Structure 1
C-alpha cells in the first residue's frame, strides 16, 4: 500500500526590474517571449510547449532531463488582470508520478525605475516527494531569467 502525504510550503520572491510593467507582463503573456526565459536547465530537452494565456487557458511544458526522465508542468490560468496580476494553478510530474500541486500569484507594480514583481507560490508536495528546497531554487532561477530577459535591450524597448 502506498503512503499518501501532503507537505505544504509557501514562498515569495520579489524583484525590482529596470523595465516597464508592460514589458514584464508581456514576458509572461506572449508564448514566444515566455519560451525564451521559461527554463531552469538549459541542457534539458524540450518535448512540448504551449501557452493559451487567458482566464481558463492552459500552459503545458514537457522536458526531458539529462537522464531522459520526463518532467511535465501543466497550468490553468484562474485570474488575469492586465499589467497587475496573474493567478494560476499547476501540477508537476516526474514521469507519470504527480509530485506537487501549486497555486501561483504574480503581481506587478510600477515604480519610478521600472517594475516590482512579486511571485508567491503555495505548493503541496505529494506522497513523500522530498523537494529539499529545489522548487524555490528553480523559481529563483526563473525569476533571474525573466529579469535578464526584460532588462535586455531595455533602452531600445521604449
Structure 2
C-alpha cells in the first residue's frame, strides 16, 4: 500500500501598497475586486459561486485555465479585524482529490499614507511540493496584481 505524502510549508509574502489600510481591506473583502486582481495571469479564470466575507462565512470559488475551471477552493473566515487582519482556512480540490489545506493570515499595517501587507500561508500540500510552489507563485502574482488595482480602479465601483 502506498502512503499519501504531505508537504508542510510556511510561505510569507510582503508588499507595500500606495493605498490606505481601509482601501486595501476593501479590495480583499470585495469578491468583485478579488476576481479582478486575484488571478495570477490573464490565462487563468476565477469565479465565485458563493461569497460570504464575515467571521464564520464561507467563500466557494472555481479557478483554473480559461475555460477549464478544474480547481475548487473553499475559504472559511475565522477572524476579521477591519483594516487590520483577515485569518482564513483554505481547502483546494481538483475533483474529489484534496490538493492542499492552509491557514492564511493577512495583516495590514499603516506605513504613512501607504499599507504594508503581510500574507502568511501555512500550507499542508498533499502529494508533493508542486502545490506549495504553485500556491506561492499564485499568491505572489495576485498580490502584484493588487498593486495595479489601486492604480486603475476605485474599489467597489
Task: Name the TM-score, length of structure 2 as normaliser.
Answer: 0.87
Structure 1 residues 38-47 or 109-118, which shifts more?
A: 38-47
| Superposed counterparts of 1:77-88, under 5 Å | 77-88=77-88
Shift of 1:79: 0.2
Does residue 38 (structure 1) correspond to residue 38 (structure 2)? The answer is: yes
Contact kept, 8 Å, 1:3 with 1:127, in 2: the verdict is no
Q: Which consecutive unaligned segments of at least 5 residues does structure 1 have?
A: none
Task: Name the TM-score, length of structure 1 as normaliser.
Answer: 0.86
Shift of 1:48: 4.3
Evaluate the alpha carbon distance shift between residue 119 and residue 19 of structure 1 in structure 2; reply closer, same or farther with a 3 A threshold.
same
Q: Distance in 2 between matches of 1:74 and 1:23?
A: 24
Q: Distance in 2 between matches of 1:19 and 1:47?
A: 26
SS of the residue 2:54 aligns to:
coil
Q: Distance in 2 between matches of 1:48 and 1:13?
A: 24
CA RMSD of aligned residues (A): 2.1
Evaluate the alpha carbon distance shift between residue 49 and residue 38 of structure 1 in structure 2; reply closer, same or farther with a 3 A threshold.
farther
Q: Which consecutive unaligned segments of at least 5 residues does structure 2 have?
A: none
Evaluate the alpha carbon distance shift between residue 53 and residue 63 of structure 1 in structure 2; reply closer, same or farther with a 3 A threshold.
same
Q: Distance in 2 between matches of 1:127 and 1:64?
A: 19
Structure 1 residues 12-21 or 123-132, which shifts more?
A: 123-132
